[in-house]
Structure 1
Amino acid sequence: MHLLHPYYIIAIIYMLIFSYQEVFHGKVEKKSLWILGVYLMVIAGLRDQVGPDYGSYRGIYVYSDTKLYISIIMKALGMQGPQPMEVEWLYVFINKILLNIFNAPFYILTFVIAILAVYFKVEYTRENTFYPFTFMLFMFIPGFFIGESGQIRQNLASFIAYFGIKYIKERKLIAYLICIYLAAGIHTVCWAFLPMYWLVRIPLNKFVMLSLIITSILLSPFEVYRVFGSWMASIASDSTVALGLNGYMDESVERLNGAIGIPEVMMAILTFFLFAFDEKMKEKFPYYEYHRAYVVIGICFYFIFRNNPIFASRLAGAFIGFAYIIIPNAMYVVSANTKKMIYSFVIALTIFNFVVFSSFRNIVAGRFTWELYQNHILP
């Protein structure tokens, strides 16, 4: 077992303290959440040679300078420019601006991306749960290491798309379309969120949800996603980054005991919360039905794409990251004793994720350990 660097331990302890306070002693001040946000921006954004995808993204940074502005603009308008664009236009544009105008070293890019990602993450979390510290603690391992410190493009794009749910609630179509357009300009996978503006309004009951999930499980061996052809391939186009991720995640998703592993267990947990607290959540939690739609689609996508680790992590993973918010939210609608049980479960699962992440080569490959982690400004 390896030990995470103390910077990460400090973040976990901070979240744990305020998580307990918000669950059992009332809402925590917003500034406490933003203190955490700034701290996460620094340890993720100014990391030095940390994260298995670090080299791949540095290569993209250099690659971006080879692209002409006209090629980037034409790609943004959906046209083919004088150069092929293998990486999404907005991400290339951010890279090129930092290089051409500011002559910025690579860690400035990771810092800018971290600032944007954590901002949208905090805003989304603050608006969609009464327990933001609990949700962020629950998602910290492995989410922070895969996202803010790993697949920084998909992570930023996903949180822009998550942020856009406020415009679904307000029924502001143009604002939502702009969010998805910008998110997809960072990572193509976010086009999958486009129909959610309309899909969240479709009524779901337990029979429909169960039917959709069972159908997805039955379809899993048949790899029906292949009918989508080139669009699906484009999601996995940055294979070097995907390989970087798999370099430290493969053991943690290893199938055990007859093809049942941690991802399947997590889908079972999500499904349990979806059905066990559905009625109470509809009664007491604003816009729960919208969140529920993301949960159902995330679970279904996971099983449909289960045989392809890249699709399962990219497309299904984008929705699953959204889906987990119903677990801490369930504490808002239940009795005091049930709230304690759910909170104990969340903490136990957080500890379990910590042990799993630390027990394999995950944190060593990513250089997240106390002896390997380096930061450009922190000692």
Structure 2
Amino acid sequence: MSLLHPYFIIAIIYMMIFSFQEVYSGKTNKRALYILAVYLVILAGFRDNVGPDYGSYVGIYVYSDTKDYISIFLAALSIKGPQIVELEWLYVLINKIIINVFDAPFYILTFVVAALVTFFKTKFVEENTHYPFTFLLFIFIPGFFIGESGQIRQNLGCFIAYYAIRYIKERKLWMYLLWIYLAAGIHNVCYLMLPMYWIVRVPLNKIWMLLLILVSIFLSPFEVYRYFGSLLGSMMSGSTLVEGFNGYVDETVERLNGGFGIPEAMLAISTFFLFAFDTKMKEKYPYYEYHRNYTVIGICFYFIFRNNPIFSSRLTGTFLAFAYILIPNTMFVVSEGMRRAIHAFIMALVIFNFVVFSSFRNIKAGRFTIDLYKNHILP
């Protein structure tokens, strides 16, 4: 078992303190939330050779400077330019500007990306949960290490897409399409969010949810996703990152062949909360139906793509964030005693995730340990 660097343990303890405050007092300390945001930007933005994908993103940084601006802007319009731009245009443009205009070192890019994603992430939790510290703590392990400190392209793209949910609530279609377009300019997996403007209005009930999940479980062994291989492959562009991504994953042959592991356990927990509190959530929680529909899609996608560790993690992860925001949100609609019980359960899961993450090779592969983590500005 390896120990996370104290910088991360400080963040966990900080979030835990304010999680108890917001759950038991009913009020969130916004100033403390913004202080946390700045701290996390420093941890992720100024990391030095930290994250299994670090080297791959350095390669992309150098690669981006080889592309001319006209080719990048034509790629944004899906027009073939003088040069082929293999990666998403907006991410290449951000890289190009930072290295070509400012001649900045790579950690300036990671800082800019961390600052952007933290802004969108903070706005997302402010607008979609009454318990932002609890949610951020709940997803911190392994979310922060796979997202802000790992798969930074998909992480940034997804939180831009999550930010766009505000325009679904306001029924502003063109604004929603614009933000999804920008999100897909970072990582085109975000195009999966495009239909959600209409899908959130689908009136699911428990019978339909159960039916959809059972059908997905039934389809799991047949690997029906292979019929859409070229489309899904394009969404997983950036094959140089797969080796780095696998540094986070501790898959076993038994689990991929039908066994039961941590992902299945978390899905079982999410499914329980989905069905157990559906009625109360529909009555008392604003826009709960949006989170519910996203969660159902995420669960279904997981089982459909289960035999592919990349698709089942990265494609379904686009939607499963809503399963994790749904769990703390249930505390808003239950009695005080039940709220305390749910919060205690979430804290237990946080501790469990901490122990598991420290036990797997993930923590050393990512250089997040007390002896391996380095930061450009922190001692």
On whether the aligned pair clears a TM of 0.5, the verdict is yes
Task: Verify: 1:362 aligned to 2:374, yes or no.
Answer: no
Structure 1 residues 1-379: aligned runs within 5 Å: 1-251=1-251, 255=255, 259-379=259-379
- Paired with 2:172 and 2:100, the residues of 1 have a C-alpha distance of 36
Residue by residue over 1:175-202, the C-alpha shift from the partner in whole angstroms, topping out at 9 and shown as x without a partner, is: 1111100000000100000000000001
Superposed displacement of residue 70, structure 1: 1.0
Superposed displacement of residue 252, structure 1: 8.8
Name the aligned partner's letter for residue 225 of structure 1: Y
Identity %: 70
**TM superposition score normalised by structure 1:** 0.98
CA contact (8 A) 1:220 1:305 kept: yes
- Paired with 2:310 and 2:73, the residues of 1 have a C-alpha distance of 29
CA contact (8 A) 2:18 2:29 kept: no
Gaps of 5+ in 1: none
- Paired with 1:233 and 1:257, the residues of 2 have a C-alpha distance of 22
CA contact (8 A) 2:250 2:361 kept: no
CA contact (8 A) 1:72 1:89 kept: yes
CA contact (8 A) 1:51 1:365 kept: yes
Equivalent residue of 1:264, what SS?
A: helix
- Paired with 2:27 and 2:341, the residues of 1 have a C-alpha distance of 20
Residue by residue over 1:272-313, the C-alpha shift from the partner in whole angstroms, topping out at 9 and shown as x without a partner, is: 000000000001100001111100000000011111111111
- Paired with 2:203 and 2:328, the residues of 1 have a C-alpha distance of 23
Structure 1 residues 258, 300: closer, same or farther in 2, change over 3 A? closer
CA contact (8 A) 2:75 2:89 kept: yes
Superposed displacement of residue 340, structure 1: 1.2
- Paired with 2:371 and 2:252, the residues of 1 have a C-alpha distance of 22
Equivalent residue of 2:26, what SS?
A: coil
Structure 1 residues 368, 146: closer, same or farther in 2, change over 3 A? same
Gaps of 5+ in 2: none
Residue by residue over 1:147-201, the C-alpha shift from the partner in whole angstroms, topping out at 9 and shown as x without a partner, is: 0000000000000011111110010111111110000000010000000000000
Residue by residue over 1:313-337, the C-alpha shift from the partner in whole angstroms, topping out at 9 and shown as x without a partner, is: 1110111123210000000000111
Name the aligned partner's letter for residue 284 of structure 1: K
Name the aligned partner's letter for residue 83 of structure 2: Q
CA contact (8 A) 1:367 1:373 kept: yes
Stretch of structure 1 that moved more, 3-12 or 21-30? 21-30
CA contact (8 A) 2:21 2:28 kept: yes
- The number of equivalent residue pairs is 379
**TM superposition score normalised by structure 2:** 0.98
Superposed displacement of residue 243, structure 1: 1.6
Name the aligned partner's letter for residue 221 of structure 2: P
Name the aligned partner's letter for residue 328 of structure 1: P
CA contact (8 A) 2:256 2:307 kept: no
CA contact (8 A) 1:253 1:263 kept: no
Equivalent residue of 1:330, what SS?
A: helix
- Paired with 2:136 and 2:349, the residues of 1 have a C-alpha distance of 13
- Paired with 2:170 and 2:248, the residues of 1 have a C-alpha distance of 40
- Paired with 1:157 and 1:256, the residues of 2 have a C-alpha distance of 28
Stretch of structure 1 that moved more, 103-112 or 224-233? 224-233
Name the aligned partner's letter for residue 109 of structure 1: L
- Paired with 2:10 and 2:253, the residues of 1 have a C-alpha distance of 26
Stretch of structure 1 that moved more, 158-167 or 242-251? 242-251
Superposed displacement of residue 248, structure 1: 2.7
CA contact (8 A) 2:189 2:236 kept: no
- Paired with 1:375 and 1:254, the residues of 2 have a C-alpha distance of 38
- Paired with 2:155 and 2:256, the residues of 1 have a C-alpha distance of 28
Equivalent residue of 2:72, what SS?
A: helix
